Amino acid sequence: MALKYIKGKIAQVRSFIRILLTVEGSFKTIFTLSIIVLLSFTLDYFLHFPLNVRIVLLVSYLSVLTYVIVRHLCLPLTRKISDEDIALAVEKQNPQLQDRLISALQFARLLDNPEYQDSRDMTLSVIQETEKISKEIRFFSVLNLTKTIRSAILPILAVGLIFFLHNQIPKLSSIWLNRNVFLKQNAWPRSTTVFLIRDEFTVNQKLPTKVNIKIENAGNEEGVLWYKYSKFWKRTALVPVKDGYEATLPELNSNTIFYAEIDDIVSSAYRLRVTKIEKSKEETNSLTIDLPDTNLVMSKGERLSLKIYASGKIPSGIEVHYRNKDVEEQEWNSELAGHQGEGIFKYTFPPMIENLEFYLEGNDDVDGFPVYNVNVLNPPSVVGSYMWYEYPAYSELESTDKDKPEQHGNVKALQGTNVRLVFEANIPIKEAQILFPDDHQKVLPNKQLSISKNGKLLSTSFEVKMDSRYRITLRGQNGLENASPTSYYVRMLRDARPYIKSFYSSSADKDSTIISNVKPRIYMLKTATVPMRIEVEDDYGISNIAILKKVNKEETWKRQPLEIVKVKNENNKKEKRGKKALGHYLTSLEKETVVDEGSVSPRTLQTGDILYFKFHAQDNNNVSGPGTKESDVYTIQVVENTQLLKKLNEHLLENKRQLGRVLDLQVNKKESIQDFLSINAEVETGDLVKIHQWHFAQKNISRQIFEIAEKIRYVLWTAGNNSIWDVFTTKKVRDVHQLLLSIAKQSKSTSYEGKSNDAATDIIDAYKVILKENSKGQAKLEDAVLNQEEVIVLLEEIIDLLGQWEDLRVEDDVKRLLEESKKQQNILKSWTE
């Protein structure tokens, strides 16, 4: 067949031309339809056409669209495109053909005619040559694809704009479709829609938000959840579930507002506050709202604060219309809510006392719907609190009597005490919690309270483990909460560590007396016995007492438990049993041993060894663990007889010197009073300060003499425990001690008995007499002088008794000098030899 290749190419070009005509016509039709949609939406949105106008406009729009379809789609496709037309177009794009293509088509048509008279061979040769040349040319270059592409730009932009607007304002798009296509009577939304913000929720920015809607008598009606995204409202479908609907909002980057629309029910608005939480165990945010939400419950006396959101055109103010709903046919009152910015308005009612109803209006939202009902009820509160303590067993404290609870909520109890609380509420309670601070949750977690059948008695318990605070939150069966629950404190009393006082004593039994004024280091013979006493006090009892000992440089303390002797306080029958305890120990230096460094065998103590000891006490706390305390470290140094005798003599001589100073002081004070009496015939009020000074000076003399008596007793105690004196020497020192006690003996911690105290009493009595009748004060001062003279006589006698130890000291010095002289002679003799 002649021109088979050329005719095939021309047929392909013809097909592509029809495709391009179809595409260009379709784009023009789409563009026209887009313009019609945008024009129709804009005109109807702003002008709100009635139905008859919308019908006329729909017919006009369809007419224009039909014309465009016929003109730009149907007619071009019905037009015939001949082979010659395509051939001429191809030759125009390929001038080198020089009309051969059109000529070949015409020759091929002539060859098909049987009456053709010219040379068929020559004609066929021209056709074959043309077909051969045509394989080297581009037939599709006649197609103008650039024009087709340009024709698609505007339609694509218009369609994209329509889809973008539909995505941003789906609700408005749906209204336009119903009004202008289906010719329904759907109304355009108002320029302003006023919502009451019923509640606010906080959600995590990085998580989607699941909204659960509970609705009474939920059916299968379609529902939509509208939420504000940027400046546009977006929608998501509400899926029917058991007892309501649910929908999921995407991850949000900023605060937003949403509301639900189910059939003819439109909810109030709810606000979402978006926060960034780095770590969250939840996979989604979850919140629940109940519909209908037009009923509000308020506490009596509480202020109702309304947050109002205006969508669309923001009005200058929102009108709040309200009235008492319990009064029939009462007129509505009106107040303006103030603008807070970003479409948020706020209005606060005065303290609520009576039930009311209200609705909101703003701009063209004036339908007075919905009407909110506010029921004013009594809020829940605690009207009585009762508390029982169950103390830990080790404390031996009696638990609170079940019939005599403490009627307050503040806790002050020992660590480990179980506290049982009962609260009485004014109305039936649905839910109650005890709340502790957030940073105490690991130790004191929040928990629900048990509620009695009548709903008014609430009970709970917890163990005292730390200082804290707690609140009781209540939710009544009427739905109200106690807005400002009372805060109660929890004070944990800690079991203090034992308090230790250790002494040297006269004997190792309970009737022993304490040897005071003893230095931390004492000196004893290796045959001595040393009685000691320990007094321990603790809040709730002692579990054990021990003495710890070591000798010289030993590293390990040897522990020896002591028998505990509990002491009861007779003056206070409520004193905790076991609060005070005694321990006694008799140290026999002959029985003490030591293992020297580098040795494995123990030996007895020798001269120069030092025994260290201290006392250890432990209380009986089994809740937080027993408390322990150790005394100071005491030392006993082992010395020879001569060394000990010398130290005792030094003590006695030092006491003699101190008594000499006290004697001088006493003589001086006596002479001061005598001089005063000799000059003044009558004591005047102005001399009261001077008399006070004499009184305090005399009391100071009593204190000094008693301290010296205690030092003498220590000397007696040391000599007796070492059996170093004979009976005669011991008696003389005891006489000294008794004479000192006759001058001043302590009766209480700050008062004394004896001659010195009698003088001090006379002086203060003189002061008291002078306040009433100053003429009689002189006699009392004279009595004081007489007592002072007796004190002086006794002091001189004691000093004389102690004088013999000074003679012994001189004798010892002579002996020492003779021994030194002999040593020097021996040294000289050895040198000369």
DSSP string, 55-123: HHHHHHHHHHHHHHHIIIIIHHHHS---HHHHHHHHHHH-GGGTTHHHHHHHHHHHHT-TT--S-HHHH
Tell me the whole-structure pTM to 2 decimals: 0.58
Cα–Cα dist 293/214, whole Å: 10
| Boundary of a domain, candidates 292, 315, 336 | 292
pLDDT at 577: 43
Question: pLDDT category, 356, cuts 50, 70, 90?
Answer: very high
Evaluate whether residue 180 is within a structural domain: no
Cα–Cα dist 428/636, whole Å: 75
C-beta neighbour count of 693 within 10 angstroms:
13
Between 612 and 571, where is the model more confident? Answer: 612
9-13, 105-109, 450-454, 544-548 — which is least confidently predicted? 105-109
Residues 151 and 21 in one domain: yes
Q: What is the mean pLDDT of residues 469-473?
A: 95
Residues 540 and 647 in one domain: no
Angle formed by the axes of helices 120-134 and 4-47, nearest 10°: 50
Give the mean pLDDT of the chain. Answer: 83
Cα–Cα dist 389/401, whole Å: 9
Cα–Cα dist 244/267, whole Å: 13
Give pLDDT tens digits for 273-282: 998 876 666 7
Cα–Cα dist 273/309, whole Å: 15
pLDDT at 346: 94
Residues 277 and 351 in one domain: no
> Regarding beta strands 295-299 and 269-275, do their DSSP bridges make them parallel or antiparallel, or are they unpaired?
unpaired
Q: What is the mean pLDDT of residues 174-202?
A: 86
Q: Is residue 239's pLDDT more than 80?
A: yes
pLDDT at 361: 93
Q: What is the mean pLDDT of residues 524-546?
A: 89
Q: What is the mean pLDDT of residues 435-450?
A: 92
Residues 226 and 357 in one domain: no
Q: Is residue 115's pLDDT more than 60?
A: no
User: Which DSSP state fits 381?
Assistant: -
Nearest residue to 312 via CA among 274, 363, 352: 363
Q: Are 323 and 401 in contact (CB under 8 A)?
A: no
Q: Are 399 and 391 in contact (CB under 8 A)?
A: yes
Question: pLDDT category, 775, cuts 50, 70, 90?
Answer: low
Q: What is the mean pLDDT of residues 114-129?
A: 59
Q: 638-663 burial, b for 16+ CB within 10 Å, e for fewer?
A: bbeeeebbbebbebbbebbeebeebb
CATH number of the domain encompassing residue 306:
2.60.40.10
Between 806 and 814, where is the model more confident? Answer: 806
Residue 368 CB burial class (10 angstroms; 0-12, 13-18, ≥19): exposed
Percent of the chain predicted with pLDDT > 70: 84
User: Which DSSP state fits 467?
Assistant: S
**pLDDT winner (highest mean) among 2-6, 88-92, 534-538:** 534-538
Percent of the chain predicted with pLDDT > 90: 26
Nearest residue to 389 via CA among 373, 400, 398, 381: 400
pLDDT at 335: 93
pLDDT at 389: 95
Bridge partners of 262? Answer: 223, 265
Question: pLDDT category, 689, cuts 50, 70, 90?
Answer: confident
126-130, 791-795, 808-812 — which is least confidently predicted? 808-812
Between 21 and 737, where is the model more confident? Answer: 737
| Boundary of a domain, candidates 135, 167, 199 | 167
Q: Are 774 and 803 in contact (CB under 8 A)?
A: no
Residues 277 and 329 in one domain: no
Greatest alpha-carbon span in the chain: 189
Question: pLDDT category, 210, cuts 50, 70, 90?
Answer: very high
83-87, 186-190, 320-324, 485-489 — which is least confidently predicted? 83-87
**pLDDT winner (highest mean) among 204-208, 455-459, 511-515:** 455-459
Give pLDDT tens digits for 220-234: 777 899 998 877 888
| Boundary of a domain, candidates 340, 355, 377 | 377
122-126, 384-388, 495-499, 806-810 — which is least confidently predicted? 806-810
Question: pLDDT category, 142, cuts 50, 70, 90?
Answer: low
pLDDT at 681: 57
Evaluate whether residue 110 is within a structural domain: yes
Q: Is residue 102's pLDDT more than 70?
A: no
Tally of structural domains, the chain: 6
Question: pLDDT category, 1, cuts 50, 70, 90?
Answer: very low
Angle formed by the axes of helices 777-832 and 688-722, nearest 10°: 40
Give pLDDT tens digits for 634-645: 999 999 988 888
pLDDT at 396: 86
Residues 596 and 663 in one domain: no
Evaluate whether residue 824 is within a structural domain: no
User: How far out from the chain centre does Cα 478 lie?
Assistant: 32
pLDDT at 411: 95
Q: What is the mean pLDDT of residues 536-547?
A: 89
Q: Is residue 653's pLDDT more than 60?
A: yes
Evaluate whether residue 755 is within a structural domain: yes
Q: Is residue 761's pLDDT more than 50?
A: yes
Question: pLDDT category, 405, cuts 50, 70, 90?
Answer: very high
Residue labelled with tokens 């700050």? 750
Nearest residue to 54 via CA among 190, 177, 189, 191: 177
Q: Are 76 and 33 in contact (CB under 8 A)?
A: no
User: Which DSSP state fits 362?
Assistant: B
Question: pLDDT category, 97, cuts 50, 70, 90?
Answer: low
Cα–Cα dist 530/613, whole Å: 12
Residues 599 and 661 in one domain: no
pLDDT at 333: 92
pLDDT at 809: 47
256-270, 344-358, 488-502, 671-685 — which is least confidently predicted? 671-685
Q: Is residue 700's pLDDT more than 70?
A: yes
Question: pLDDT category, 615, cuts 50, 70, 90?
Answer: very high
User: Which DSSP state fits 546?
Assistant: E
pLDDT at 783: 86
Residues spanned by the domain of 267: 191-292
Cα–Cα dist 289/311, whole Å: 21
Q: What is the mean pLDDT of residues 97-121?
A: 59
CATH number of the domain encompassing residue 659:
1.20.120
Q: What is the mean pLDDT of residues 40-66?
A: 88
C-beta neighbour count of 205 within 10 angstroms:
13
- Report the sign of the C-alpha dihedral through residues 782, 783, 788, 790, in that order: positive
Q: Is residue 194's pLDDT more than 50?
A: yes
Nearest residue to 717 via CA among 501, 515, 523: 515
107-111, 249-253, 299-303, 628-632 — which is least confidently predicted? 107-111
pLDDT at 811: 45
Q: What is the mean pLDDT of residues 686-690?
A: 75
Cα–Cα dist 648/651, whole Å: 5
C-beta neighbour count of 435 within 10 angstroms:
17
> Regarding beta strands 285-291 and 318-324, do their DSSP bridges make them parallel or antiparallel, or are they unpaired?
unpaired
Residue labelled with tokens 């206070």? 572
Give pLDDT tens digits for 493-510: 998 889 898 888 888 777
Residues 286 and 314 in one domain: no
Q: Is residue 780's pLDDT more than 50?
A: yes
Q: Across 313-364, where does the E strand assignment appear?
A: 318-324, 333-341, 344-348, 356-361
Nearest residue to 137 via CA among 223, 49, 10, 285: 10
Q: What is the mean pLDDT of residues 365-376?
A: 89
User: How far out from the chain centre does Cα 258 lie?
Assistant: 33
Give pLDDT tens digits for 336-349: 999 988 889 999 99
Evaluate whether residue 829 is within a structural domain: no
Alpha-helical regions (H) of 395-447: none
Residues 673 and 801 in one domain: yes
Q: Are 389 and 399 in contact (CB under 8 A)?
A: yes
Question: pLDDT category, 448, cuts 50, 70, 90?
Answer: very high
Q: Is residue 810's pLDDT more than 50?
A: no
Q: What is the mean pLDDT of residues 431-460?
A: 92
- Report the sign of the C-alpha dihedral through residues 750, 755, 758, 762, in that order: negative
Cα–Cα dist 613/635, whole Å: 6
pLDDT at 801: 84
For residue 477, report the phi and psi dihedrals to the nearest 5 degrees. -65, -15
Residues 647 and 595 in one domain: no
Between 558 and 96, where is the model more confident? Answer: 558
Q: Give the pair of three-digit tokens for residue 197.
A: 């913000």
pLDDT at 96: 60
Residues 566 and 525 in one domain: yes
Between 571 and 8, where is the model more confident? Answer: 8
225-234, 551-560, 568-577 — which is least confidently predicted? 568-577
Q: Are 495 and 464 in contact (CB under 8 A)?
A: no
Residues 460 and 484 in one domain: yes
pLDDT at 823: 60
Nearest residue to 19 via CA among 126, 140, 101, 118: 140
Q: Which residues contact 642 (CB under 8 A, 6 or more apart)?
A: none
Cα–Cα dist 469/466, whole Å: 10
User: How far out from the chain centre does Cα 667 lie?
Assistant: 70
Evaluate whether residue 204 is within a structural domain: yes
Evaluate whether residue 519 is within a structural domain: yes
Evaluate whether residue 524 is within a structural domain: yes
Q: Give the pair of three-digit tokens for residue 383.
A: 């009207």
Q: Are 653 and 807 in contact (CB under 8 A)?
A: no
Q: Is residue 816's pLDDT more than 70?
A: no
pLDDT at 575: 43
Question: pLDDT category, 445, cuts 50, 70, 90?
Answer: very high
